[in-house]
Amino acid sequence: MTERYQNYVDGSWTDSETGETFETEDPAAPAEAVAEYQQSGAEDANAAVEAAAAAEDEWATTPAPERGAILREAGSILADRKEELTELLTREEGKTHAEAGGEVQRAIDIFYYYAEKTRDLGGDVKSASGPRTNLYTVDEPVGVAALITPWNYPIAIPAWKIAPALATGNTIVLNPASVAPGVALEIFKALDEAGIPDGAANVVTGPGSTVGDAIMTHDEVDAVSFTGSSEVGEMVYDKATDDGKRVQTELGGKNPTVVTDSADVDEAAEIVANGAFGVTGQACTACSRAIVHTDVYDEFVDAVVEQAESIEIGPGDEYDMGPQVTESELEGTLDYIEIAENEGATLATGGGQPEGDRFGDGYYVEPTVFTDVDNDYRIAQEEVFGPVLAVIEVEDFEDGLETANDVQYGLSASIVTDDHTEAERFVREVEAGVAKVNDKTTGLELHVPFGGFKRSSSETWREQGDAGIDFYTIEKTVYDGF
């Protein structure tokens, strides 16, 4: 029997006003339903926003360390349930057990991190120009925050929006992606058990086009944080800013790893393969372009193909790479593979769906490497969101850097080199919000800012670390003449 989830609004678990529900499926075995959720509508979204607005003053005036204590307790509850959350994430989203466990732990760590940050919230004291004046700033919560999150990191991304918003005294309404919402709702179970006041934290499941739009456009919402595709994110940004709301968007990527002639080729191949094929390539920071110096190109291709072919595919509880999350995502990846072949790229390995009993009707695709790719091919310019790597040959470092920047996105980028000068130039000149040296494009520390350039971000506010606190607070300057 599948578990049945409700919306969490104003401190209560409730069914939607629509009376409708939907089920999620296991991408490794699509005939198996995982859980049932509320197919909510605008009325449910509006009720959640109104509950958040009613709770705004109480939560904002709760001493920050008390808010932190609730976050810390919620983190502890999540930690106690880590294994069951890991299993739920694997069944709904398809990640391997190791990947899912790492993501759940990240969510736990985020709650602990922002719980501690509540002790340092406040402002700055400045020197006044005249006598008998105390001059200082106070950081206040923005108000009600609408949070809209994707399916590919279904607990980590909600956590890094929820925790800083609540830590700084904002009330929230979350609309998680319908493909894998279970672990996000488990966060609200933990917050409820930790004692968060009614209305401070609310979650409503249902389509983003209905629920997400309703919470984002509600007059009582003061800030909107969205993670998803560039196309949708740009519409969210335009609509929310037209209403005068504070907006933060983190969007798509077409992330390069530049491999120079001084690189250790085997190390480079391992770094690129981990970035390209980890989490089945379903990460906005996944490496989708390997830009390789001509002197090591052939050797690199052999090494990265060997890496790809060594990956064991299957259900996430046993194998190295799980399925794609839905049939439509799988079809999108297969479409891009066909497009790449039609454009003239050479299929070096992969490109199909694996066969065998263990794959059943699951949404599996082989780790895929294309060579002989020009940077103007669609496979090199558009986000695929699957385990597909385009290998591009370049003449020198200058050509590699120019090629890395020659896309509409700018989220994450890396270089593999043994030349410090090249590494320093790359970090300085690459057009990406995250730059890495001798490391994969994926993987983020939780205490530093995260965000992109160009179409990878609204380029307004960053997430995580102190940047997360900045987005959810507004400064007031005080002149105290006592």
Catalytic residues: 284
The contacts of residue 404 (CB under 8 Å, 6+ apart) are 256, 258, 289, 291, 413, 430, 431
